[in-house]
Amino acid sequence: MAAGGPGRTPDRPRAGPARAPPRIRRHARTNGERDDDMLTLGTLLKNKRAGETHLAWHHPNLSGPDTLDLRSADFPHGHAIPAVHTGPRAGGRNLSPALAWTGTPQGAAQLLLVVEDPDAPTSRPFVHCLALISPARRELAAGALNADTAAEGVRVLRSGMGRGYLGPQPPKGHGEHRYAFQLFALRTAVISVPGRPDLEASRPRDVLDAVGGPALARGRLDGVYSR
C-alpha cells in the first residue's frame, strides 16, 4: 500500500518548469546582401522582356494617325527619366512627370494615356499608369497623374500595381528599360467596362479592350531608366 494511508493514490512526481524549445539562430540579411540578390536576379533575367509588340501602341483598337505631339519638360524623347519621377524602390518620389501635347483633333471625346514598360521581365508590358483625360486639356503638371493629387479632368485608373502613376523601378542589373508614354485621342469616351461595375478597379487590359477604335490621333514619348 502506498505511503500516506489506505485509499490514497500514489503521489506523482511534480513536473518541472517547461523547457523552451531550442532557439534557432537566423542570420539577419543585410541590405547589401538583399541588393546583391536582386542584382543577381536582374542579371539572370536580362534576356527576359515583354516586348514592344505587346504595347498598347500596337493594340488593334488604338491604331490611328501619329499626329499628336507629346512632350515633357522633364526629359526629351529617348532620354533618361529624372530620379524624382522613379518609384520608391528606386529611391525616387514617385512623382508623375509634366506632360504637354498639341494636335488634339476636333471631335475627340476623350484622351487615353497609357504608360508601359516593354522591357519588364514579364509576359506583357508592365502598366505604370492608365488615365482618362478631358479632351479640353493640353498639359499636365508634375504629379497630376498621382492618385492622391490627380488634376481636374483626369481620371486615374488601375495600373499594374495600385491606382495612379507608379514610377520606374526596374530590377537591378536588368539593363536599360524603356517607358512608353502613349496618348490616344478617342472618338468615343470609355465610361464602363463590360462585366466590371467599377471602372477604376478594371484591369488595364479590359479597359483597352473596351475602347471603340480606331483612335482619331495618337502620340508617343519614350523615356529610359536603369539601375
Determine, yes or no, domain membership for 37.
no
214 prior amide bond cis, ω within 30: yes
Quote the domain boundaries for residue 135.
Answer: 50-193+201-225
What global pTM score does this model have? 0.81
> How long is the chain?
227
**pLDDT on residue 107:** 97
**pLDDT on residue 20:** 53
Residues 122-163 have pLDDT tens digits of: 999 999 999 999 999 999 999 999 999 999 999 999 999 999
Determine, yes or no, domain membership for 7.
no
Average pLDDT, integer, range 73-81: 99
Q: Which residues pair with 158 in a beta bridge?
A: 163
Q: How confident is the model at residue 12 (pLDDT cuts 50, 70, 90)?
A: low
What distance in Å separates the CA atoms of residue 108 and residue 184, rounded to the nearest whole number? 10
Number of domains in the chain: 1
Residues 87-129 have pLDDT tens digits of: 999 999 999 999 999 999 999 999 999 999 999 999 999 999 9
Q: What is the CATH number of the domain that holds 179?
A: 3.90.280.10
Burial class of residue 109 in the structure, from the number of CB atoms within 10 Å of its CB (0-12 exposed, 13-18 middle, 19+ buried):
middle
What distance in Å separates the CA atoms of residue 93 and residue 78, rounded to the nearest whole number? 21
CA angle 71, 163, 212 (to 5 degrees): 65
**In sequence order, which ranges of 66-186 are alpha helices (DSSP H)?**
none
- pLDDT of residue 42 exceeding 60, the answer is no
Determine, yes or no, domain membership for 42.
no
Determine, yes or no, domain membership for 38.
no
Determine, yes or no, domain membership for 144.
yes
